[in-house]
């Protein structure tokens, strides 16, 4: 029997092979805990075999796209493992998306089969989704083919798939925060690099990882995959609430978690937080959205264990890692490049900037997408080649390195406002607004201006119990900003629109500004 250490030491391997190792070494160890029950490693391994065999029986070929569109569950994880064991490509789709969006993604991926559950079966029964698509219901609900009746007989083992490093692991559709979602092809070698990187974070049989973000998100998968690869237990939350999160964390003696910044903020604001036993935590991770320095500091003060921030993209390229407890003076940064990751900064002409100067962040590493599915031109636009021809992925983010090599982000290039020929970074304006005691959250976007080309507009969520005057708050902020940065308009909103993993949807804010409800005229 192959030992785990030997398997991890190899240049390349697969997640299903590691699951098999754990199933044989510790068959009764819990692999996944969810509201529907617990799935041991032996049960996960056996279910993955039956799913893989059934997919091959149905005529799916290695490399074929198979979708999963459901809430988080043990059977969801088994479906992913089974698709991979058959040598096919996992296509995780957002289970709260409208039917039209799902139909377009399914068609783009070329999927003929999709795993669903009660939360999505009705949506996928829409006329927008082709009737020929086979819907396999993970929870045996209708409409669709119940999983228990579709599975291959117990004990059947699929023929071994010959998986290569450049074969696709999954096809993930971008969140669409800056435009139309694109299918991001992540190869097997990229996921294997994530698994090997995780060795330093103390994953293992005793690790218990609490996951409260959706399983279709790369944010979640970068934690779920190593949790299973190292034989730990993954506790799944189909829906995040602070009360349930704290209960599960204490009950299962959780050691690892991935949260986005807005979740950290909500948990720390929960009245029960300081009464909850969180002493088992060893590592808390964060990614996907800007993580304010003061929030990081509060997490360090009040929550046991290490705090690790990852900066990177679903497309891969380069990752920066901030060990917040080790570098408390660098909380305003996103850390330094991970080992083996080459991060550089380039200007508008594609030339590297001088040390200390800002530029667009580009990165090269073992963790890089193959490209955007079916979009060769978009793929080329996302790449930058250095003078030697080395391939980098462009992030669209603007940043600079400090004297110690820590990366300080300014803003997304697409969000940058060009007003009167000057670059205005929304994050600078947001930081000023957030200093006002009556402001809970703030987001700034650029809108068309006849005079300046673009001008800043702010959307603000007031702090609880506060009712500030919009003009007074605008004047207060503008008094602290340069003339070119001044906010042209400020609107209060109940909450900022966010993606399921906490990113502020600035495209939605721009649309809201133009809409009649807000009184936007289309230009200021």
447, 428 in Cβ contact below 8 A? no
Order across the sheet with 453-462: list the strands.
439-449, 453-462, 489-492
Domain assignments of the chain as residue spans, ordered by start? 4-239, 312-412, 417-514
Measured in degrees and rounded to the nearest 5, phi and psi for residue 129 equal -100, 130
pLDDT given for residue 430 in this prediction:
92
DSSP 204: S
Question: Is pLDDT at 177 greater than 60 in this prediction?
Answer: no
For 46-56, what is each residue's pLDDT tens digit?
999 999 999 99
Question: Is pLDDT at 42 greater than 50 in this prediction?
Answer: yes
- With a CB cutoff of 8 Å and minimum separation 6, the contacts of 68 are 76, 79, 80, 83, 90, 91, 92, 93, 114, 115, 215, 216
- DSSP string across 288-347: SS---HHHHHHHHHHS-SEEEEEE--TTBS--EEEETTT-GGGTTS--EEPTT-EEEEE-
What average pLDDT score do residues 460-468 get? Answer: 92
Please give the biggest Cα pair distance in the chain: 72
334, 311 in Cβ contact below 8 A? yes
Q: Which of residues 493 and 181 earns the better pLDDT score?
A: 493
DSSP 200: G
Q: Which of residues 134 and 523 earns the better pLDDT score?
A: 134
For 6-26, what is each residue's pLDDT tens digit?
999 999 999 999 999 999 999
Architecture of domain 4-239: 3-Layer(aba) Sandwich (3.40)
Q: How many CB atoms lie within 10 A of CB 414?
A: 13
Question: Is pLDDT at 275 greater than 80 in this prediction?
Answer: yes
90, 81 in Cβ contact below 8 A? no
Q: What percent of the chain has pLDDT over 70?
A: 95
User: Does the domain formed by 417-514 have CATH 3.30.300.30?
Assistant: yes
Question: Is pLDDT at 417 greater than 80 in this prediction?
Answer: yes
| 85-89, 142-146, 214-218, 359-363, range with the lowest pLDDT | 142-146
pTM for the model stands at: 0.85
Helix H, strand E, coil C: the string for 77-139 is HHHHHHHHHCCCEEEECCCCCCHHHHHHHHHHHCCCEEEECHHHHHHHCCCCCCCCCEEEECC
Model confidence band, residue 380 (pLDDT cutoffs 50, 70, 90): very high
Q: How many CB atoms lie within 10 A of CB 515?
A: 10
Find the helix or strand (DSSP H, E) in which 37 lies.
strand 37-40
- With a CB cutoff of 8 Å and minimum separation 6, the contacts of 129 are 99, 102, 103, 106
What average pLDDT score do residues 447-456 get? Answer: 83
pLDDT given for residue 261 in this prediction:
87
Range 451-482 burial, b when 16+ CB lie within 10 A, else e: ebebbbbbbbbbeeeeebeeeebbebbbeebe
Name the one residue in this structure whose structure tokens are 């779920």.
Answer: 224
pLDDT given for residue 175 in this prediction:
61
222, 249 in Cβ contact below 8 A? no
Q: Which two tokens stand for residue 434?
A: 């957030």
Question: Is pLDDT at 450 greater than 80 in this prediction?
Answer: no
For 294-311, what is each residue's pLDDT tens digit?
999 999 999 999 999 999
Q: Within 13 Å of residue 333, how many CA atoms lie on the same side as its CB?
A: 22
By CB neighbour count within 10 A (0-12 exposed, 13-18 middle, 19+ buried), where does 28 fall?
A: exposed
Instruction: Answer whether the bond into residue 331 is a cis peptide, omega within 30°.
Output: no
Bridge partners of 299, per DSSP, are none
- DSSP string across 220-261: HHHHHHHHHHTT-EEEE-SS--HHHHHHHHHHTT--EEEE-H
CATH number listed for the domain at residues 312-412:
2.30.38.10
Q: Which two tokens stand for residue 55?
A: 């997919």
Angle between helices 242-251 and 261-269 (to 10 degrees): 80
Q: SS3 for 58?
A: coil
For 308-335, what is each residue's pLDDT tens digit?
999 999 999 999 999 999 999 999 999 9
For 88-111, what is each residue's pLDDT tens digit?
999 999 988 888 889 999 999 999
Question: Is pLDDT at 482 greater than 90 in this prediction?
Answer: no
31, 77 in Cβ contact below 8 A? yes
pLDDT given for residue 408 in this prediction:
95
Question: Is pLDDT at 359 greater than 80 in this prediction?
Answer: yes
By CB neighbour count within 10 A (0-12 exposed, 13-18 middle, 19+ buried), where does 29 fall?
A: middle
Q: SS3 for 148?
A: helix
d(CA 291, CA 307): 12
Do strands 422-424 and 417-419 pair parallel, antiparallel, or not at all (unpaired)?
antiparallel
DSSP 284: E
Q: What percent of the chain has pLDDT over 90?
A: 78
Helix H, strand E, coil C: the string for 462-519 is ECCCCCCCHHHHHHHHHCCCCHHHCCCEEEECCCCCECCCCCECHHHHHHHHHCCCCC
pLDDT given for residue 520 in this prediction:
46
By CB neighbour count within 10 A (0-12 exposed, 13-18 middle, 19+ buried), where does 213 fall?
A: buried
363, 393 in Cβ contact below 8 A? yes
Query: Which of 322, 289, 325 lies closest to 411, judged by CA?
Result: 289
Question: Is pLDDT at 515 greater than 60 in this prediction?
Answer: no
d(CA 107, CA 120): 17
């Amino acid at each position: 029997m192959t030992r785990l250490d030997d398997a991890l030491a190899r240049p390349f391997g697969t997640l299903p092979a590691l699951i098999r190792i754990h199933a044989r070494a510790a068959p009764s160890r819990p692999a996944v805990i969810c509201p529907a029950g617990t799935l041991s490693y032996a049960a996960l391994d056996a279910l993955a075999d039956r799913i893989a065999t059934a997919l091959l029986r149905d005529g799916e070929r290695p490399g074929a796209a198979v979708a999963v569109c459901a809430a988080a569950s043990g059977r969801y994880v088994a479906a992913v493992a089974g698709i991979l064991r058959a040598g096919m490509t996992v296509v995780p789709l957002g289970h709260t998306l409208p039917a039209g969006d799902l139909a377009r993604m399914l068609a783009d991926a070329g999927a003929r089969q999709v795993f669903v559950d009660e939360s999505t079966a009705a949506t996928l029964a829409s006329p927008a989704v082709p009737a020929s698509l086979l819907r396999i219901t993970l929870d045996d609900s209708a409409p669709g083919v119940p999983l228990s009746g579709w599975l291959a007989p117990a004990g059947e083992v699929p023929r071994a798939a010959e998986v290569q490093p450049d074969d696709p692991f999954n096809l993930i559709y971008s969140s669409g925060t800056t435009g139309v979602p694109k299918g991001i092809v992540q190869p097997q070698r990229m996921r294997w690099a994530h698994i090997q990187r995780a060795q330093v974070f103390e994953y293992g049989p005793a690790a218990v990882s609490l996951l409260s973000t959706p399983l279709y998100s790369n944010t979640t998968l970068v934690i779920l995959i190593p949790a299973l690869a190292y034989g730990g237990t993954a506790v799944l939350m189909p829906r995040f609430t602070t009360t349930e999160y704290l209960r599960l964390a204490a009950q299962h003696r959780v050691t690892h978690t991935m949260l986005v910044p807005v979740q950290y903020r909500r948990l720390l604001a929960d009245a029960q937080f300081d009464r909850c036993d969180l002493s088992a935590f060893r590592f808390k991770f964060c990614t996907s959205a800007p993580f304010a320095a003061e929030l990081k500091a509060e997490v360090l003060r009040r929550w046991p264990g290490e705090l690790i921030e990852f900066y990177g993209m679903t497309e891969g390229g380069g990752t920066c890692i901030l060990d917040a407890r080790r570098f408390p003076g660098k909380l305003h940064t996103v850390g330094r490049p991970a080992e083996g990751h080459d991060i550089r900064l380039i200007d508008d002409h594609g030339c590297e900037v001088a040390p200390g100067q800002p530029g667009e962040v580009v990165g090269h590493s073992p963790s890089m997408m193959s490209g955007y599915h079916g979009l060769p031109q978009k793929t080329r636009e996302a790449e930058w080649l250095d003078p030697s021809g080395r391939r980098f992925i462009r992030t669209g983010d603007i940043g600079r390195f400090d004297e110690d090599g820590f990366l300080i982000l300014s803003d997304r290039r697409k969000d940058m406002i060009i007003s009167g020929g000057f670059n205005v970074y929304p994050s600078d304006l947001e930081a000023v607004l957030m200093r006002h005691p009556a402001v809970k959250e703030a987001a700034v976007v650029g809108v068309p201006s006849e005079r300046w080309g673009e001008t800043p507009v702010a959307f603000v969520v007031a702090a609880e119990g506060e009712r500030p005057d919009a003009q007074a708050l605008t004047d207060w902020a503008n008094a602290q900003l340069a003339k070119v940065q001044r906010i042209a308009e400020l609107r209060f909103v109940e909450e900022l629109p966010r993606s399921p993993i906490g990113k502020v949807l600035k495209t939605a804010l721009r649309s809201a500004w133009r809409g009649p409800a807000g009184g936007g005229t289309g230009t200021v």
